[in-house]
């Protein structure tokens, strides 16, 4: 979830297997004014508004990461398939190993969820990006959907190589004294511990209905959280908010905890856990 080569390198060196960039668009964007991120009782609420340097200014950072041999998944957002294709081709030229299409940001007008709720658009964007690139394409979908399975299926029909689930959950915090929403954008996306059961349910439902791999994300803080996602049907996981709670070495800690759990339960292969809860 970062956009700067130095901090990405630190995350990688602390044990992550690959890095997903902050979502990048065609033009530089400042994002929303503060307050944009607040810590709540059981998670983090944010509406930062997709701030990013724009794809052309991101080239240098990506080339640095390529030199360092760090596996990078380039996350992109656009308002239509043409923007997604332009971004995807540039990301590929700048050396990323895979693409993640952000079709699920809950708080940016004209982008993300506003497009990602339409199965036809999801299929069209995925198909066009797949046709114009050679690297794997993952489609990140939203939990804020009544038709989450239909949207995942559309991505699969558009030839996606995998589904990433979930992005943040639409939420709000009100300041009692000011009697108004805390975030400048009023509505934001909730992440961290509290959203894990929602992510687990989404991965479980999606994996019942599609054949491509799922990358699980949402509230993973410990090795056991990751194992729960594997059992729900995820083949890999991403970790975001837990960096805030457990520090940068959270990746190594989670890997160690997974190994300990597997040893204790006499599992030699992680693949034996994938989808184990589908009985
Ligand atoms: C501060 C913040 C910024 C985020 N930025 C992005 C983003 O640029 N693109 C994206 O697809 N998801 C973004 N996310 C969502 C995360 O990638 C992830 O899907 C979500 O936070 C749930 O995982 P977690 O509970 O491990 O954080 C962001 C989340 C947070 C908290």
pTM for this one? 0.96
Our mutation pick for probing the ligand 1 site, out of 144, 202, 240, counting the most ligand atoms within 8 A of Cβ, is 240
Q: Which domains does the chain have, with CATH numbers?
A: 5-273 (3.20.20.70)
Q: Is the Cβ atom of 200 under 6 angstroms away from ligand 1?
A: no
> pLDDT tens, position by position, for the chain (279 residues)?
545 777 788 888 888 999 999 999 999 999 999 999 999 999 999 999 899 999 999 999 999 999 888 899 999 999 999 999 999 999 999 999 999 999 987 777 777 777 888 999 999 999 999 999 999 999 999 999 999 999 999 999 999 999 999 999 999 999 999 999 999 999 999 999 999 999 999 999 999 999 999 999 999 999 999 999 999 999 999 999 999 999 999 999 999 999 999 999 999 999 999 999 998
Q: Is the Cβ atom of 38 under 6 angstroms away from ligand 1?
A: no
SS (H, E, C) the chain: CECCHHHHHHHHHCCCCCEEECCECCCCECCCCCCCEEECCCCEEECCCCCECCHHHHHHHHHHHHHCCCCEEEEECCCCHHHHHHHHHHHHHCCCCEEEEECCCCCCCCCCHHHHCCHHHHHHHHHHHHHHCCCCEEEEECCCCCCHHHHHHHHHHCCCCEEEECCCEEECCEECCCCEECCCCCCEEEECHHHHHHHHHHHHHHHHHCCCCEEECCCCCCHHHHHHHHHHCCCEECCCCHHHHHCCCHHHHHHHHHHHHHHHCCCCCHHHHCCCCCC
- What was the pLDDT predicted at 62? 93
Name the catalytic one among 105, 117, 202, 255. Answer: 105
- What was the pLDDT predicted at 3? 52
- What was the pLDDT predicted at 279? 87
CA 40 to ligand 1 centroid distance, Å: 15
Q: Is 105 a catalytic residue?
A: yes
- What was the pLDDT predicted at 108? 75
């Amino acid at each position: 979830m970062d956009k700067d080569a130095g901090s990405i390198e630190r995350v990688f060196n602390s044990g992550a297997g690959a890095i997903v960039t902050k979502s990048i668009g065609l033009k530089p964007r400042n994002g929303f004014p503060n307050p944009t991120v607040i810590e709540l009782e059981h998670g983090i609420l944010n509406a930062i508004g997709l701030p990013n340097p724009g794809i052309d200014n991101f080239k240098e950072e990506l080339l640095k990461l390529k030199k360092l041999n760090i596996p990078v998944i380039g996350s992109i957002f656009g308002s239509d398939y043409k923007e997604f294709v332009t971004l995807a081709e540039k990301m590929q030229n700048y050396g990323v190993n895979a693409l993640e299409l952000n079709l699920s940001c809950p708080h940016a007008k004209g982008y993300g969820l506003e497009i990602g709720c339409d199965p036809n658009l999801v299929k069209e964007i995925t198909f066009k990006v797949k046709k114009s690139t050679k690297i794997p394409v993952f489609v990140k979908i939203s939990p804020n959907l009544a038709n989450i399975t239909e949207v995942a299926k559309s991505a699969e029909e558009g030839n996606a190589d995998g589904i990433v689930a979930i992005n943040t959950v639409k939420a709000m915090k009100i300041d009692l004294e000011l009697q108004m929403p805390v975030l400048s954008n009023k509505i934001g996306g909730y992440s961290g511990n509290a959203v894990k059961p929602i992510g687990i349910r989404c991965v479980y439902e999606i994996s019942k209905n599609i054949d491509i791999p799922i990358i699980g994300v949402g509230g993973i803080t410990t090795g056991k959280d990751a194992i729960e996602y594997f059992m729900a049907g995820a083949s890999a996981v991403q970790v975001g908010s837990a960096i805030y709670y457990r520090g940068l070495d959270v990746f190594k800690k989670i890997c160690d905890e997974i190994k300990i759990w597997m040893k204790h339960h006499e599992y030699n292969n992680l693949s034996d856990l994938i989808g184990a809860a589908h009985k």
